[in-house]
């Protein structure tokens, strides 16, 4: 975003640069009236009046106001009645833990101990306020002067906020989510402790604790307690192992972690039962929808139960997990089958964007024309879906189909601010058949659009440089 395109003011704050954008809105680096830098998160104007969005932002503000710790990016201000509403947080200048490890390699010695202790202290403050972060991971930890600051409370929720959990979705990242959450339980403090263990294992080794590969494989390793801790220092090994216990009751709490790390980590004694695996889930069976209340006009997403946890839903590396239970009206029936597949079905699980990931999706679809595939992929913020009749896509209503276009590559360099078109770029149009939104199709959850489900792929040809594919919902494998 060029400087002349920035908003002149957001409330009493003056934007200086554009930091990030997503399905929920935009984040700006701004100056407050005293000239201090802050981060301003502004809800997307098109979402300001959608049911539940302001309430979701209000809940985020309530979470952040109760947490007071130098280890957490604290709330500075908020105006939820503005149009669009916004919140202001301390601007944390630094690099993420993930960026640090990727650029400089694993942390060693005192640097690793400081990181482990600091993140544990952040969790103590979060849990003491009665909250759970739910998406602790290396990319949500800023490193400032060698010390960690936990960010991204866009998905933090009160532990008993069951309704908002259903409506907004409880997010976590595969490899950082414990088995009980994969089975559909609400994430509690032990889930953050599990994520702490996976994060410190990554910081110490430079590798994901449960490896890479398909979602099912990573999830099963978590169930089995099969963490790769080769390279974790001896003094941290028992703490990390205990934190990654498959069973929540055997994990230490955050205060125990912080206390051990402030003293002698090696003195911590792990319960031998911590390494007992959770019974592995089966494949290919869709969990049954429960009867949690849903907003009128909105479709329910899949409830991931024990039998389907290993086929969990990847969303930009994150898992969407719904909490079972509740006593509301039954969900509206959907004509679409449930999106659970066996591991053998070809799958695409990356963000769909303009560029290399878009190129990979185009090649994936081209290679699987006439076949059934499994797709769990979010749309990047610059990709806007629309309805089959050409009107704006109603993410909470009903559309006869959904369409979106992305641009995998450009033959010519675009001018600054120029949007890609078929004149200079290769385009791909995806049409998703069936009533939308549905359990299979294009969904809006937690601030992002995503393509989710089992589909049969067909290619409709190429018109004016745009390749057209259709995804037809198919039965689960």
Compute how many other C-beta atoms are within 10 angstroms of the C-beta atom of residue 336: 21
DSSP state of 143: E
CB contact at 8 A, 451 and 376: yes
End-to-end CA distance of the chain: 44
DSSP secondary structure letters along 77-124 = EEETTSSS-EEEEE---SEEHHHHHHHH-S--HHHHHHHHHHHHHHHH
Q: Which two tokens stand for residue 240?
A: 């990390």
Tell me, what DSSP letter sits at residue 197? H
Distance, C-alpha 289 to centroid of its chain = 22
Give one DSSP letter per residue of 410-460, joined into a string: ESSPPPTTPPP-TTTEEEEEEEEEEEESSSSEEEEETTEEEEEEEEEEEEE
Dihedral, CA atoms, 149, 153, 155, 156, nearest 10 degrees?
Answer: 90
Residue with tokens 């935009």: 26
Which of 305, 304, 324, 325 has its CA nearest to residue 315?
Answer: 304
Dist CA 101 CA 87 (whole Å) = 30
Active site residue 135: yes
What are the start-end ranges of the E strands in 124-165? Answer: 131-132, 141-144, 147-150, 157-158
Which residues does 372 contact at the CB level (< 8 Å), separation at least 6?
345, 454, 455, 456, 457, 474, 477
> Quick one: angle between helices 109-128 and 254-262, nearest 10?
150
CB 167 within 8 A of CB 295: yes
Sign of CA pseudo-dihedral 471, 473, 475, 477:
positive
Q: How far, in whole angstroms, is CA 411 from its chain's centroid? A: 33
Active-site residue, selected from the candidate residues 135, 152, 192, 290: 135
Taking alpha carbons only, the member of 372, 361, 376 closest to residue 313 is: 376
What residues contact residue 179 under an 8 Å CB cut-off, 6+ apart? 222, 223, 246, 247, 278, 309
Under 8 Å CB-to-CB from 345, ≥6 apart: which residues? 372, 373, 374, 454, 477
Handedness of CA 236, 195, 318, 78 (dihedral sign): negative
> Which residues participate in catalysis according to the annotation?
135
């Amino acid at each position: 975003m060029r400087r002349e395109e920035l908003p002149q003011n957001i409330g009493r704050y003056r934007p200086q640069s554009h930091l990030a954008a997503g399905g929920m809105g935009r984040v700006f680096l701004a100056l407050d009236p005293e000239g201090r830098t802050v981060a301003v998160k502004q809800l997307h104007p098109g979402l300001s009046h959608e049911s539940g969005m302001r309430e979701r932002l209000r809940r985020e503000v309530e979470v952040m106001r109760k947490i007071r710790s130098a280890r957490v990016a604290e709330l500075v201000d908020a105006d939820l009645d503005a149009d669009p509403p916004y919140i202001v947080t301390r601007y944390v200048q630094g690099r993420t833990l993930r960026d640090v490890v990727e650029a400089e390699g694993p942390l060693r010695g005192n640097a690793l101990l400081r990181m482990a202790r600091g993140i544990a202290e952040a969790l103590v403050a979060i849990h003491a306020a009665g909250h759970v972060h739910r998406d602790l991971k290396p990319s949500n930890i800023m490193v400032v002067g060698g010390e960690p600051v936990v960010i991204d409370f866009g998905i933090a929720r009160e532990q008993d906020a069951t309704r908002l959990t259903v409506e907004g979705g409880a997010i976590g990242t595969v490899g950082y989510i414990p088995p009980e959450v994969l089975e559909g339980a609400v994430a509690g403090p032990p889930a953050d402790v599990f994520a702490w263990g996976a994060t410190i294992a990554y910081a110490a080794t430079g590798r994901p604790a449960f490896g890479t590969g398909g979602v099912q494989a990573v999830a099963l390793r978590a169930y089995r307690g099969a963490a790769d801790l080769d390279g974790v220092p001896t003094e941290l090994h028992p703490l990390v192992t205990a934190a990654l216990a498959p069973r929540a009751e055997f994990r230490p709490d955050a205060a125990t972690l912080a206390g051990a790390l402030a003293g002698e980590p090696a003195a911590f004694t792990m319960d031998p039962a911590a390494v007992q695996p959770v019974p592995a889930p089966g494949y290919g069976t869709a969990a049954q929808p429960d009867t949690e209340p849903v907003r009128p006009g909105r479709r329910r997403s899949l409830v991931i139960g024990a039998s389907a946890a290993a086929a969990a839903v990847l969303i930009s590396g994150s898992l969407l997990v719904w909490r079972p239970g509740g006593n509301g009206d039954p969900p509206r029936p959907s004509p679409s089958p449930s999106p659970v597949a066996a591991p053998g079905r070809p799958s695409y699980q990356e963000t769909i964007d303009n560029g290399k990931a878009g190129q990979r999706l185009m090649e994936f679809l081209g290679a699987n024309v006439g076949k059934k595939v499994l797709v769990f992929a979010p749309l990047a913020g610059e990709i806007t879906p629309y309805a089959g009749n050409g009107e704006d896509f109603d993410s909470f209503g009903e559309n006869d189909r959904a369409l979106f276009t992305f641009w995998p590559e450009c033959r010519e360099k675009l001018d600054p601010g120029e949007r890609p078109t078929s004149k200079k770029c290769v385009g791909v149009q995806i049409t998703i058949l069936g009533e939308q939104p549905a359990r299979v199709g294009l969904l809006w959850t937690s601030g992002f659009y995503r393509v989710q489900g089992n589909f049969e792929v067909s290619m409709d040809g190429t018109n004016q440089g745009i390749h057209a594919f259709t995804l037809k919902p198919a039965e689960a494998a």
